[in-house]
């Protein structure tokens, strides 16, 4: 049913650290790989090796430049996937009941055999989290790797979403954001985790950790200068004699 | 938004068809037999033709029947129900009018109600979307309803009713354009709120996630058609309202009446094209586009 649950037992989601992300796109590739080979229809590409390639991705990394009033501009890499909103507009607009939000963990999923590919859910999503697969004609979205996180056939260390497992910088964290004592909730509290487009009223579960301030220009520009000062003292012995003799010449 | 021909054809034709059914249900014009048959045939061709066109953009049209299940939350599902109910009720009413010379008033009223409800639910599919500020306005249902009623009255040959309804629809159109042009700015959503980085300074899209295009850009960022928007507005307004009004004021003539209907239809289609082409989805912000 496309009625949203009153509340969910857990709120599984991601915490994405904009301070740490280096913009390597490894999460994009691992997501595409895992989700092409596993749950649901594969993520197709069109004209993959031609002049106008395009394809379905559940996770994409943007890069933004922020120019403060004073000081240097900062470049911020910005991974974006489904935020598994508490008040997910994509679920309620679905005419067939293909879109749903799970009561047990809050994950928003698409039942592909019910999806008619009308695209209305993608229209209703402010974040661009849903893409209609051009080959299958059904809506694809992040499943929070529902086929990994509960998968007993995988080693325990791999039972997290593919993007989180892959991130070489540790910029992505996975956990229960409904539990205030979970690691991810503590991280959000400590770092001031934020919602994207809060004015849309979607109440995203995924949180973004703002980048720490960087490139602050101090009074003393060369902070390494004290460390680089010559440490050699007055030469003694033969070198001292040589030094003095050469000075006199 | 990408102005898909299927949805433009659908909203234009169905709007007009259900508008005509609304008046037929009220007994305007009070016809029977073959004349009634022609009126009903035109109304059904427009309404059903439009509905068929709307299934063309579906990824899986064969599963379209499943869209009747989620009427509790989905305006698209409610639209499906209203359309089917309107067509069934008006079909029964039409049988009486055409073949039995009977006008079952209550059934007609009910059919008229469902016809209007269909147009309203269609408009709510667009109006409900907070992601598209230009649609997320009370004027959107007002526009769909006023267009449908004006077009219906025109098709039903009800000049006396069509005249004021066309004037109202024209006014709603102007108000819609005026408010719509300010809607995105007034929504408070910009790249700053989209990224959550707005507090820190001016945010600029530096690099897109990929060098090519994607579904989101094709579906939601349509810049090409906006270049001629002002000219198209003049054309749409002239065809949909000014010319039909002039033709209505002139002494009645079947050729003029037909011209008025065709002109109105072309004008509404142009307006609907702009409705989609000019609609800006907030997801474009993430790509530094509108």
Q: Does domain B5-287 have CATH number 3.30.1330.40?
A: no
Report the alpha-carbon distance of residue A178 to residue A172 in Å, rounded: 17
Please name the residue of chain B whose CA is at the shortest distance from the CA of residue A211. Answer: B197
- The residue among B32 and B16 whose pLDDT is bigger is B16
Max CA pair span of chain A: 96
| pTM assigned to the model | 0.90
Please, which pLDDT band fits residue B268 given cuts at 50, 70 and 90? very high
Higher pLDDT, B191 or A246: B191
> Which stretches in chain A have pLDDT values below 50?
none
Distance of residue B101 Cα from the nearest chain A Cα, in angstroms? 39
pLDDT of residue A231: 67
Sign for the pseudo-dihedral over CA of B114, B116, B120, B122: positive
CA distances (Å), origin B119, targets A30, A103, A225, B145: 45, 34, 74, 6
- B114 vs B19, B53, B68, B86, B157, CA distance in Å? 11, 20, 16, 5, 21
A89 contacts in chain B (CB < 8 Å) = 129-131
pLDDT of residue B226: 75
Bridge-based pairing of strands A139-140 and A131-132 is antiparallel
**Alpha helix (H) residue ranges in B128-253:** 139-155, 159-186, 191-195, 215-220, 229-237, 243-249
pLDDT digits (tens, 9 = 90+) for A209-221: 999 876 666 666 6
Domain covering A12-209: architecture:
2-Layer Sandwich (3.30)
pLDDT at A72: 83
Smallest CA–CA distance, residue B140 to chain A, in Å, is 16
Q: Is the peptide bond before B29 cis (omega within 30 degrees of 0)?
A: yes
Alpha carbons A36 and B226: distance in angstroms, whole number: 37
Q: Is the pLDDT of residue B199 over 80?
A: yes
Biggest CA–CA distance in chain B, Å, is 74
- pLDDT of amino acid B4: 87
pLDDT at position A238: 81
User: Scanning the structure block, which residue is given the tokens 């009720």?
Assistant: B89
Q: Where are the domains of chain B?
A: 5-287
Q: What is the pLDDT at residue B224?
A: 67
Place of tokens 């690691």: A183
- Does the model's ipTM exceed the 0.85 cut? yes
Structural tokens at position A248: 């006199």
Per-residue DSSP letters for A113-163? TT-----HHHHH-TT---EE-TTT-SEE---TTHHHHT-TTS-GGG-S-HH
pLDDT of the residue at A70: 85
Task: Give the whole-angstrom CA distance, residue A15 versus residue A178.
Answer: 13
All residues of chain A having their beta carbon less than 8 Å from the beta carbon of residue B206 are: 63-65, 75
Q: How far is A88 from chain B (nearest CA, A)?
A: 12
Instruction: Give the pLDDT of residue A3.
Output: 85
Read off the pLDDT of residues A167-182 as tens digits, 9 standing for 90 and up.
999 999 999 999 999 9
Per the structure block, which two tokens stand in for B104? 């079952």
SS3 B179: helix
Distance of CA A204 to the CA centre of its chain: 14
The pLDDT tens digits of the residues spanning B61-103 come to 999 999 999 999 999 999 999 999 999 999 999 999 999 988 8
Please report the number of interchain residue pairs, chain A to chain B, with beta-carbon separation below 8 angstroms.
195
Residue pLDDT, tens place only, B35-58: 999 999 999 999 999 999 888 889
**CA atoms of A188 and A190, how far apart (whole Å):** 6
**Alpha-carbon span B231 to B239, nearest angstrom:** 12
Return the pLDDT at B54: 87
A233 near B CB under 8 A? no
Chain B residue with minimum CA distance to A55: B214
């Amino acid at each position: 049913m496309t009625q949203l649950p009153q509340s969910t037992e857990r709120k599984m989601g991601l915490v994405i650290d904009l301070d740490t992300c280096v913009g390597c796109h490894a999460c994009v590739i691992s997501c595409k790989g895992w989700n092409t080979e596993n749950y649901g229809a594969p993520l197709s590409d069109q004209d993959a090796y031609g002049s106008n390639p395009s394809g379905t991705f559940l996770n994409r990394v943007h890069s933004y430049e922020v120019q403060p009033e004073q000081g240097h501009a900062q470049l911020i890499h910005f991974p974006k996937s489904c935020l598994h909103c508490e008040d997910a507009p994509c679920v309620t607009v679905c005419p067939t009941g293909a879109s749903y939000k799970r009561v047990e963990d809050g994950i928003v999923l698409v039942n592909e055999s019910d999806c008619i590919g009308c695209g209305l859910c993608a229209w209703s999503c402010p974040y661009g989290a849903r893409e209609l697969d051009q080959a299958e004609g059904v809506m694809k979205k992040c499943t929070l790797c529902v086929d990994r996180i509960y998968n007993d056939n995988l080693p325990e260390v791999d039972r997290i979403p593919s993007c989180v497992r892959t991130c070489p910088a540790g910029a992505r964290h996975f956990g229960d954001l409904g539990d205030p004592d979970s690691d991810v909730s503590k991280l959000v509290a400590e770092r001031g985790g934020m919602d994207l487009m809060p004015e849309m009223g979607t109440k995203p579960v995924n949180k973004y950790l703002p980048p720490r301030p960087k490139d602050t220009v101090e009074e003393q520009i060369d902070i390494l200068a004290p460390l680089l000062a010559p440490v050699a003292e007055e030469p003694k012995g033969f070198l001292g004699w040589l030094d003095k003799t050469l000075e006199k010449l | 938004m990408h102005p898909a021909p299927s949805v433009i054809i659908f909203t234009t034709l169905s709007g007009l068809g259900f508008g005509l059914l609304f008046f037929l249900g009220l007994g305007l014009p009070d016809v029977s037999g073959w004349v009634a048959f022609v009126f009903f045939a035109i109304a059904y061709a427009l309404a059903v033709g439009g509905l068929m066109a709307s299934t063309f953009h579906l990824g899986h049209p064969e599963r379209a029947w499943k869209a009747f299940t989620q009427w509790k939350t989905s305006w698209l599902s409610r639209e499906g129900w209203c359309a089917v109910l309107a067509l069934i009720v008006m079909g029964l009413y039409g049988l009486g009018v055409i073949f039995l010379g009977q006008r079952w008033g209550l059934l007609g009223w009910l059919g008229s109600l469902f016809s209007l409800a269909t147009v309203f639910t269609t408009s709510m599919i667009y109006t409900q979307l907070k992601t598209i500020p230009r649609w997320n306005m009370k004027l959107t249902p007002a526009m769909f309803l006023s267009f449908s009623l004006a077009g219906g009255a025109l098709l039903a040959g009800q000049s006396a009713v069509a005249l004021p309804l066309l004037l109202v629809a024209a006014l709603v159109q102007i108000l819609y354009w005026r408010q719509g042009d300010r809607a995105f700015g007034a929504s408070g959503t910009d790249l700053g709120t989209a990224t959550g980085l707005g507090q820190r300074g001016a945010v600029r899209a530096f690099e897109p996630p990929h060098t090519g295009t994607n579904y989101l850009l094709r579906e939601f960022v349509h810049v090409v058609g906006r270049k001629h928007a002002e000219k198209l507005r003049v054309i749409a307004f002239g065809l949909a309202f000014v010319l039909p009004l002039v033709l209505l004021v002139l002494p009645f003539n079947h050729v003029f009446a037909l011209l008025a209907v065709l002109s109105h239809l072309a004008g509404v289609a142009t307006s609907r094209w702009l409705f989609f082409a000019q609609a800006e989805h907030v997801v474009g912000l993430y790509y530094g586009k509108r």
